[in-house]
Each structure stands twice: as C-alpha cells, then as structure tokens.
Amino acid sequence: MARLLYRLGSTAYRRWPLFIAGWLVLVVAVGAIAATASKPFSDEFTIPGIPSEEAADIQQELFPDAGNAFDDATVNVVVAAPEGHTLDEAPYEAAIADLIDAIHGLPQMDPDAVQPGLVDPTAAAEDQRQMYVDAATESGGDVTAAEADAAAVSPLSEDGRIGTMSFEWDLETVADLDAASVDAFKELLAETTDETGLIAEANGQGMAVMEAPGGTAELIGLGIALFVLLLTFGSLMAAGMPLLNAIFGVALSMAGVSAMTAVMDLSSSTTALSSMIGLAVGIDYTLFILARYRTELHHTDDRQHAAGIAVGTAGSAVVFAGLTVLIALSALSVVGIPFLTSMGLAAAATVLIAVLVALTLLPALLGVTKSKAFGGQVRKYRPTRDDHGRVLNNGVRWARVLAKAPVAWVAGVVIVLGALSLPIGQMYLAFPSDSTAPSDTTQRKAADLSEDAFGAGRQGTFVVVVDGRDIADDGQRDEAFEQVVDWAAGQDGVANAQLVATNAPRDDTGASNGPATGAIIQLTPSSGPDDPATLDLLDDLRAGQSSIEDQTDTVVGVTGLTAITTDVSDQLNGALPTYLAVVIGLAFLLLVLVFRSILIPLTATLGFLLSVLATLGATVAVFQEGAFGIFDGQPLVSFIPIFVIGVVFGLAMDYQVFLVTRMREAHVHGLSTHEAVVDGFRNSARVVTAAAAIMIAVFSGFIMEDDAIIKSMGFALAMAIVFDAFIVRMVLIPSLLYILGDKAWWLPAWLDRILPNVDIEGESLERDSAPLNIADLDDDLDPDRELASV
C-alpha cells in the first residue's frame, strides 16, 4: 500500500493541474445535479416492524384521514387567566378572541381554513360536555360517567382558569415549517401576555422547526481550528490548507446528499452528522499528512519525493483510520432505523471523501505552492535538541514521565474514568418532549400549565386502535369496542380511557349511516410521557393485548407519539449488542492487520470502552442530572449511546492509528518498544494533540445550538475526544506498551503467515535521503533550512 500511495502522492504533486481540475469538475457536476434534479427531503418517520408502527398502519387503513404523530404540524395553545381569575371574564374572553383572529393571519396559515380546535376553551368545554350528556341520554347510558369522560378530555380546567386550543399550520408536513412562522407566533403570544395579562404559551409538533446544525457553531469551530493550526505550523499558508480541504470535502458531500434525493427519499436529518464529522476528520487527515510532509522536507530537497513519502506513510495511516470510521458509521444500518441508517451512510460517504481529498488534493495544493507551502510564517520554530541532535519536545518529555511509573498511570486512568462512568447507573433514555424542554421556552411553560390544570398524563396519551373487521356480526362490533375500552380503563396507571371515534359512515347530518369496522380509544395515563410508570403501563397493555384480542375477535394496537418513541428506544437498545459486535469485531481485525499484533488492538479496544463509559457517565451527570447547573436536567435522547459509540469508536481508532503507527515504524526500524514509544511521541504527539483540539473545538461549537439533542451530541462528542485522545491514547496506551515491552508486538506465527503485508510504515519505500536510524527523524522542519531551500 505504501508504494501505491507514494505513487499517488508524488503524481498528484507533479500533475497538480489535472488533479485540481478533476476535483473542480466533480464539484461542478455534483452541484449541477443537486441544483437541477434534487427533490425536497422527506421527513416521514417510519420504523418498520415496531408495534406502534404496525398499529399506526392499521389506523391508517381504518381511518385514511388520520394523521401521522410525527408529521402533523399541530400547535397546542395553552391560555391562562391570572391567579384568582377565570377565562370567562370579559377581558380574557376578548383577548382569546383577538388571539384566535391573529393566529389565522400568521404566515403559513390559510386565513379561510376552518380550524375546529381553535375555539374559546370556555365555550368549547360546555359544548363538549353537553354533547357527551346528550349522547348518553339518547343511548340510555350513564350520564355521570359521560360527564366524567367529558371532563377527562375537556379543554378547560376544573377551576376555569386554564384552557387549551389547537390549530394546524397549512403545510403538507411539519418539515416544511419555517422558523419565521414560529417566531411570528411566539411574538404574538408574548404581545398577548404583555398587553392583556392573559398568559399564552404553546407547544406541540408544530412548534419544532427542523433545522440542521451549523452556522454559528461551525464558524466558531473553524475559527478555533485555524488558531490551533497556526500554533501547530506557525504558517498562515499551511494552516489554511487543512481548513480548505475540509470545507471543500464537506461542501462536495452536502451537494452529493442533495443530489441523491433525485433517486431516493432522504431525511433532512441526513446531513446533520455529515457536516459535524466531515469538518473534524477533514481537518485531521490533512493535518496528519501535511505534518509528515514537513518532516520529510528536513531530509530531502526533492519536494515531490517528500510529498510521495508523506502520502505513502501518513497517508496509509489515514486510509486505515478512515476505514475504522467508515465501519463505525456504516454499521448504524444494522439498527434498522431508516433515519439513523441514512445519517450513518451519508456521514461515512463524507469521511470517504475526506480521505480521498487528503490523499490527492493536498499533494496537488503542495504542488501549486511548492516552496511557499509554509509561507506567511507567524512564528519561528527552534526546537531544543538532545546530544544526538534529536528533537527534545514536550512529547518526548511526557513519554519519559510515563515511563517512570507506567503501572501507576494505568491504575490512575482506570480509577478516574471508572469514577466518571458511575452515573451511567442512573441513565434514563427517552425522546425529548415539551415537558423536558428548557424551562424558559414556551413549549415547557405550556406543558407545565397543562400539567397543573389537567394532570401529567394529558401530555402523553396513548391511542388504542381496535380493528373489528374479523367480526362477522355487525351488531357485536360495538360490544367488542366497549369491552376493549373497559379492558384499557382497568389497567393500573390509567386516568381515563374512552372511545373517541369509529369509522362508521356518516350522513349529511353526522348521524351514523352504517356499521363501524374500527375504533379509536384515547387512553390518558396518570403519569407523564417521560415517567417510567407510563412505560410500565405500555408494557402492561402490550402484555394483555393478545388476551383481549382472543376475547373480542378484534386486533388491538397501541400507538401515539409516546408509544412510538418508546418502541424506537427499545429497538435501539436491542440493536446495541449486535452493533457493538459488528463494529468492534471488524475494527479489531483491521487493527490486527495494521499493527500485526494481537495485544495492541486489544488494548486499543479496551481503552475505547473506558472512554465511552466515562463519556456517557459525564453526559448523564451534566445533562440528565443537571450537574453544575449548566443545563436543565432531562432524559437523554434514546439514540445518544449508539450514536456516541459509533462515532467515538471511529475517531478513537484514528488517534490509535496516528500515534501507534509511528511507534511501530520506529520498532520496525530496530528500536526497542521503550525507545519506539518515545520516538512515536516525538513525531506524533503534537499532531495528535492539535487534531484532538480541533475536533473538540468543532464539537463544542454545537453545544451552543438551541436544540437539546444537538447540545447533548456536541457535549458527548467533545468529552469523548478529551477522554480518549488525552487520557486513553496519551496516558493509558503508552503506559501499557511500557509494561508489555516487546510482547506488545507479538503475533502468532501462523497468523503472521496468512496476513497480507500492507506496509503501513513505508518500509518498502526508497528513502535514500533519510537517516539510517528512524530515531534521527525530526517532526519539524528547521526553518533556516527551509528558507535556504527556497
């Protein structure tokens, strides 16, 4: 591989016009397809095979006009009179009427459309109560029970102070909602409260604007990355190359994803992970090769040869590092959740492009700039050298500190990371809801008002779908529906269960005009959507489902937003062992091939597990438990663990490959393990540190996003890099190598014979200008020599 990549790098340097033109043609072609043939992203949320999805399919068959729980652009408006007042008082009735009129005039609203739920809560509550009573009277039913059912779903609180209304944006899907529309509505709510004293808040799917992360967060990350690169290279020109490559790669990837919508449906979330990962690895991969190029310039005046050596050696490490990330991201498809699959594959494609850009576009840019590649110097590099003329930098000093007490360092790392992982025992996974939103948002305020007025369960109702098509006798269906209602109402933790709709055909007056074949039962829990008691209730319903089906000859399913998110969480948890086995298994084999060792891949994997456990523990402590008061405590989003495991494993192996390949290179050239560790730190520690700092900067920028999911993802990834790069790779792994000694490179003879030799160290390359002993290699070019060669 080293020879192949050497030829690729030296050719790209020599034929730079062809390579740059090729990349530009590709960008133009993909961009043209994206601009002319791309289709809108599809945000239909479907998880094939989960129980709530199957129930939703039955509901769609029986009630074709029923909406999708994730797709409906519904807004729930909660209004409240000041303490000691009620909504039927004249000033507040007038304020509600004005609010309703103003809502019709909002952007993305049809002013002529009828909004059945957008009615004064006081009048709506009385009309609803009377309807329930009349229906019970006509059928000879229990009027008292009817009034209780009416109260359970009433839009007005018992004391008359708090009420609810609802409306839908004039959209096909909530993905089409503009932030400007939501902002205009929020301003309207604030004006209503300020001018009339009527408290007005809102929540629901129609308040969630689907925006991909980026913008300010990415700019901040890029700014910090530029600063780190300037410190690393001391050159404006060199600092700009990794940024240019990364931005180019991400732009090409985003255009590619957009172009792919011409032939397949993709979710708008597809690009969320790609931009985050693409920037980080794009900078890191280019940085690693560029640093090696600068090292080679110390030993040769032939820049083309230096570029070939850099791509042949550091480029080999980049290829294998990229492969580990590709494995981790592509394996997200085993989870079986379409939006995670598309996110993982798009991010994997972005990483592949980042690798190709680093291997070809960077040497082409070096061919363009030639002696100016490290121009625009902002500082001089004058390293301290030992008696043998070798660089004596902080990496060497740190490696020697570790060598004095490696066992103590290993024990310290295990204790620290183990302690940080303890909060995992309290980890509670769920999908974010309005009741867990930040306390200063209108969504959270609306949820709190609703809970005070109607109980926590109103925010997390279940929809029980009853399919009676297998009942031959039309007259028995209504009886079967009532049996299912009684069964649902009899479960522990149910505040109310009632039949709210059947699919019986209606005449022009609304009267039943034929037998119903299906029914919908609304079940209100006693607990909120994020309460474990609600999840226990769902389990009880599912456990008794087959029994009630046998008794009634119906098919029963439980769906609704709470049921769907719970099932998604269960699917994620169930897929985690398989995902871990696939990712770790394939990556372990890849690392065995790279390092030709059993123990080094094993220690790398164990170190990764420590860093992931510590990351999840820290995330639980800060985000769920509210440690340090930085964030309001709330459940972690369900896909955080599998997402963190996938991304962090790939990035952790990056650092393992970057750092340990230099150690193996030194060992292959005759140094002992102790000397190889020191030499690896001499040549790679500063580059790995810079790469990690850049990734931390990029990920930390996303903590400032408004979305709680993006915040937690950014925090988790930033902390994972801190733990893995600076504690595991810079402390644990070298200490273990010191302890293992030359046994670290042990490989069974039979396995050594069958493994192909990928020559990641570049042993086969002709390096006439290089010193015989690799320990003499410096990781930086002497500025005086560089200027002389110019």
Could you give phi then psi for residue 348, rounded to 5 degrees? -65, -40
pLDDT of residue 790: 27
Query: Does residue 603 lie in a domain region?
Result: yes
Q: How confident is the model at residue 421 (pLDDT cuts 50, 70, 90)?
A: very high
Helices (H), 357-405: 362-369, 394-404
With tokens 């930390």, the residue in question is 700
Q: What residues have CB less than 8 Å from 387, skipping those under 6 apart?
A: none
Q: Is the pLDDT of residue 135 over 70?
A: yes
DSSP annotation of 725 reads I
Report, as an integer, the average pLDDT of 319-335.
85
Q: Is the pLDDT of residue 440 over 50?
A: yes
Q: Is the pLDDT of residue 364 over 90?
A: yes
Question: Distance between terminal CA atoms of the chain?
Answer: 32
Q: And the tokens for 775?
A: 């320990």
Is 626 or 740 the better-scoring residue by pLDDT? 740
Distance (Å, rounded) from C-alpha 762 to C-alpha 192? 71
Report, as an integer, the average pLDDT of 577-604.
85
Q: And the tokens for 120?
A: 């004064």
Report, as an integer, the average pLDDT of 305-314.
89
For residue 131, how many C-alpha atoms fall within 13 Å in the half-sphere facing its CB? Answer: 13
Query: Does residue 368 lie in a domain region?
Result: yes
Q: Is the pLDDT of residue 7 over 80?
A: yes
Distance (Å, rounded) from C-alpha 306 to C-alpha 302? 6
Return the sign of the alpha-carbon dihedral for residues 768, 769, 775, 779: negative
Query: Does residue 496 lie in a domain region?
Result: no
Q: And the tokens for 326?
A: 């590709």
DSSP annotation of 623 reads I
Distance (Å, rounded) from C-alpha 218 to C-alpha 645? 23
pLDDT of residue 784: 38
Distance (Å, rounded) from C-alpha 600 to C-alpha 733? 8
pLDDT of residue 42: 63
pLDDT of residue 509: 57
- Determine contact, residues 106/181, Cβ cutoff 8 Å: yes
Is 558 or 586 the better-scoring residue by pLDDT? 558
pLDDT of residue 699: 80
Query: Does residue 645 lie in a domain region?
Result: yes
Distance (Å, rounded) from C-alpha 443 to C-alpha 441? 5
Q: Is 374 exposed, middle or buried (0-12, 13-18, 19+ CB in 10 A)?
A: buried
- pLDDT tens readout for residues 598-628: 999 899 888 888 998 999 999 999 888 888 8
Q: List beta partners, residue 166.
A: 76
Query: Does residue 242 lie in a domain region?
Result: yes
- Determine contact, residues 591/658, Cβ cutoff 8 Å: no
Q: Is 628 exposed, middle or buried (0-12, 13-18, 19+ CB in 10 A)?
A: exposed
Is 632 or 470 the better-scoring residue by pLDDT? 470
Residue 555, amino acid? V
- Determine contact, residues 42/266, Cβ cutoff 8 Å: yes
pLDDT of residue 70: 61
Q: Is 367 exposed, middle or buried (0-12, 13-18, 19+ CB in 10 A)?
A: buried
Give, in order, the Cα–Cα distances in Å from 200 to each of 119, 162, 167, 196, 334. Answer: 14, 10, 14, 10, 44
Least confident of 142-146, 213-217, 773-777: 773-777
Q: How confident is the model at residue 316 (pLDDT cuts 50, 70, 90)?
A: confident
pLDDT over 70 percentage in the chain: 90
Is 780 or 374 the better-scoring residue by pLDDT? 374
- Determine contact, residues 217/701, Cβ cutoff 8 Å: yes
Q: Is the pLDDT of residue 370 over 80?
A: yes
Query: Does residue 758 lie in a domain region?
Result: yes
Q: Is the pLDDT of residue 781 over 60?
A: no
Distance (Å, rounded) from C-alpha 4 to C-alpha 31? 31
Q: Is 60 exposed, middle or buried (0-12, 13-18, 19+ CB in 10 A)?
A: middle
Give, in order, the Cα–Cα distances in Å from 723 to each of 217, 300, 311, 717. Answer: 22, 38, 29, 10
Query: Does residue 659 lie in a domain region?
Result: yes
Least confident of 152-166, 227-241, 355-369: 227-241
Give, in order, the Cα–Cα distances in Å from 204 to each of 164, 322, 444, 708. Answer: 12, 41, 10, 16
- pLDDT tens readout for residues 116-125: 889 999 999 9
Distance (Å, rounded) from C-alpha 683 to C-alpha 391? 9
- Determine contact, residues 279/220, Cβ cutoff 8 Å: no
Query: Does residue 415 lie in a domain region?
Result: yes
CA angle at 199 for the pair 195 and 203, rounded to the nearest 5°: 125
Distance (Å, rounded) from C-alpha 188 to C-alpha 195? 10
Which range marks the domain in which residue 225 is found? 2-26+214-374+390-420+566-763+771-784
Element (H, E) at 521: strand 518-525
With tokens 């084999």, the residue in question is 589
Q: And the tokens for 597?
A: 């060792």
Q: List beta partners, residue 465.
A: 520, 557
Q: And the tokens for 280?
A: 């980080």
Tally the domains of the chain.
1
What is the chain's length? 790
pLDDT of residue 389: 63
State how beta strands 636-637 and 429-430 pair. Answer: parallel
The radius of gyration computed from the CA coordinates of the chain, to the nearest angstrom, equals 31
Q: How confident is the model at residue 505 (pLDDT cuts 50, 70, 90)?
A: confident
Q: Sheet with 518-525: list strands edge to edge.
A: 494-502, 518-525, 462-467, 555-559
Report, as an integer, the average pLDDT of 462-488.
91
Listed ranges 252-261, 687-696, 729-738; the one with the highest mean pLDDT? 729-738
Least confident of 1-10, 81-90, 142-151, 390-399: 390-399
Report, as an integer, the average pLDDT of 650-674.
81
